Amino acid sequence: MPVTIAVILFTITTTSFCSGVRRSSMTDLDRLATALRNAETAVALTGAGISAPSGVPTFRGDDGVWDHFDEGQFTYGRFQSDPAGFWADRLALHRAMFDGEYEPNVGHEALAALEREGYLDAICTQNTDGLHTAAAASIDTGAGEGTADPRRADEGPTILELHGNARRVRCTDCGARTTAEPIFDRVSDGERPPTCDCGGIYKPDVVLFGEELPGAVIQRARSLALESDVFLAIGSSLVVEPAASLPRLAASSGATVGIVNLEATPCDGIADVACRDDIVEALPRLRDRIETQ
């Protein structure tokens, strides 16, 4: 069945884990560390919050991008009916979000190291900034500090970009992909919509609201959630489907669910541990706890 991306309406269920903002205790992180050490399969789902410390703005929460842009203008329907107008608005959004050189932060690095060390099997991300891949690459080239798990020596990291990658565009006719920045420059120079050599219209290589996620990608993410013994949701408001359902799917099959986010989420009620922590503090600490337990 096709799965389109959409925002859900929600109410937050109050539990002992989300009764007001609080800092996670060491016990919370110890619990997650123990669960990760013992897990056969562990999966992380990340959202915009993990890239916020790198300088990429979030969509919601304090001064989020959707406070400044109308998210209704960035739908697949708008792209199809008014590609020129869509691209004009997309240029402004792209410049607001990615106007600079962004580097992975200690949160991306901690997850990449956990993956490399064999404590994490996959990172499913809603982010389109490519920073998880950059963090993994820095570990593989020795810039990071991860110690490789011999079981993983021949494997690349498993990073599922659920919503695509904003650093690329894709031709809607021939399917050719190319780097986004030169295309945005052409849009800035007045080419709206920008077109491929074949004549087809380029589209940002991301999943727009109302657009279907690639079937194989969401299927894989769901299988990973169902298989997982530990499922971590990190830096996401968990209000956009289908990603928002992954923690519930994992919980339904018995996984220990951990959430790390500054604000409450609609999934806090089903989480075993909900840490209202800054990622830059919590993730390196979690990794330390795993190493020292």
Footprint of ligand APR on this chain (CB under 6 A)? 47-49, 52-53, 58-61, 64, 126, 163, 235-237, 240, 261-263, 278-279
**Which of these, 107, 209, 207, lies nearest to 166 by C-alpha position?**
207
Catalytic residue among 94, 108, 132, 163: 163
Nearer to ligand APR, 283 or 290 (CB): 283
Least separation in angstroms between CB 147 and ligand APR: 26
Instruction: Find the shortest distance in angstroms from Cβ 186 to ligand APR.
Output: 24
CB 266 within 8 A of CB 239: yes
Encoding tokens for residue 91? 């240029």
- Chain position whose Cβ is nearest to ligand APR: 49
Q: Which CB sits closer to ligand APR, 171 or 213?
A: 213
The conformation of residue 268, written as its DSSP 8-state character, comes to: G
Catalytic site includes residue 163: yes
CB of 171 to ligand APR, least distance (A): 22
C-beta of 196 vs 206, nearer to ligand APR: 206
Question: What is the Cα–Cα distance from 123 to 273, expressed in whole angstroms?
Answer: 19
Helix (H/G/I), strand (E/B), else coil: 105: coil
Distance CA 80, CA 69 (A): 19
Residue 224's φ and ψ, nearest 5 degrees, are -60, -40
Measured CA to CA, the distance from residue 61 to residue 49 in angstroms comes to: 9
Q: For residues 48-66, b (16+ Cβ closer than 10 Å) or e, as one string? A: bbbbbbbebbbbbbeeebe
Minimum Å distance from CB 221 to ligand APR? 13
CB of 250 to ligand APR, least distance (A): 16
- CA–CA separation, 49 and 275 (whole Å): 13
Residue 251 or 279 having the CB closest to ligand APR: 279
In the complex with ligand APR, which residue's Cβ is closer, 105 or 229? 105
Looking at the annotation, which residues are catalytic?
A: 163
